[in-house]
């Protein structure tokens, strides 16, 4: 793959920091990734170029392999993308309550300053969030704490319905039956798609007979 000069400089600044934390640069996927016992954590860097200014969005994500192995059987993701699917993902902006935030960079000095800001954020709260969001119990809490509201921890709210009930089943969430009804209703409102609703019911039937041993 061909990297832009901006990306080359960005990775040059950030790689020593993330490498020290156990992350590996995967430039072809525009991210740093760390393998964990349950899947992976990643930090995704997405630049957009507007003339002399670059806007940089930074997303934090985790993948729980157990949830994804179940969920990807029922979701409409292309097979080639399934091994890289995140279970949870949100931007640094959303994590700070600033949903549309982007770093705006127009000079080498601003790039260096932005990288220092990203490193400080990760040290202060980013890595701890990733740690809390990789376990089944952490995912269950984040996806199911407010089932009646859109989740800020996923971009696709349809996929949230699937992954949330999987997490609830795997953690023996006592509200599992009620969550099924809640997300069934949400899918009906969100998609009006009989195929999606059928797929969700297939997942529910699978989970009701799923053995975690």
Residue 211: predicted pLDDT:
74
Burial (Cβ within 10 Å: 0-12, 13-18, ≥19) of residue 168: buried
Residue 189: predicted pLDDT:
87
Average pLDDT, consecutive stretches of 10 residues, N- to C-terminus, the chain (213 residues): 92 98 97 97 97 96 96 86 94 91 96 98 97 95 95 95 97 96 92 86 94 67
Structure token pair of residue 115: 């990288």
Structure token pair of residue 173: 């969430």
Which strand (E) or helix (H) includes residue 93?
Answer: helix 92-95
Per-residue b or e along 140-164, where b marks 16 or more CB atoms closer than 10 Å to that residue's CB = bebbbeebeeebebbeeebbbbbbb
Residue 81: predicted pLDDT:
86
**CA-wise closest residue to 168 among 144, 150, 147, 189:** 144
Residue 213: predicted pLDDT:
59
Q: Check: CB of residue 199 under 8 Å from CB of residue 206.
A: no
């Amino acid at each position: 793959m061909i990297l832009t000069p901006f990306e080359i400089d960005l990775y040059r600044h950030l790689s020593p920091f993330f490498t020290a934390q156990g992350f590996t640069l995967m430039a072809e996927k525009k991210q740093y990734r760390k393998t964990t016992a349950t899947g992976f954590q990643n930090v995704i860097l997405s630049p957009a170029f507007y003339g002399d200014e670059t806007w940089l969005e930074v997303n934090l994500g985790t993948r729980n392999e157990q949830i994804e192995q179940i969920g990807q059987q029922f979701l409409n993701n292309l097979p080639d993308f399934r091994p890289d699917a995140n279970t949870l993902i949100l931007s640094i902006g959303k994590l700070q309550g600033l949903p549309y935030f982007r770093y705006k960079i127009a000079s080498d000095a601003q790039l260096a300053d932005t990288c220092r800001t990203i490193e400080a954020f990760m040290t202060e709260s980013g890595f701890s969030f990733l740690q809390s969001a990789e376990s089944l119990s952490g995912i269950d809490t984040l996806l199911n704490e407010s089932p009646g509201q859109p989740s800020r921890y996923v971009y696709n709210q349809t996929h949230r319905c699937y992954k949330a009930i999987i997490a609830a089943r795997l953690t023996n969430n006592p509200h599992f039956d009620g969550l099924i009804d809640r997300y069934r209703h949400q899918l009906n409102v969100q998609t009006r798609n009989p195929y999606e609703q059928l797929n969700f019911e297939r997942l529910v039937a699978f989970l009701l007979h799923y053995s975690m041993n």
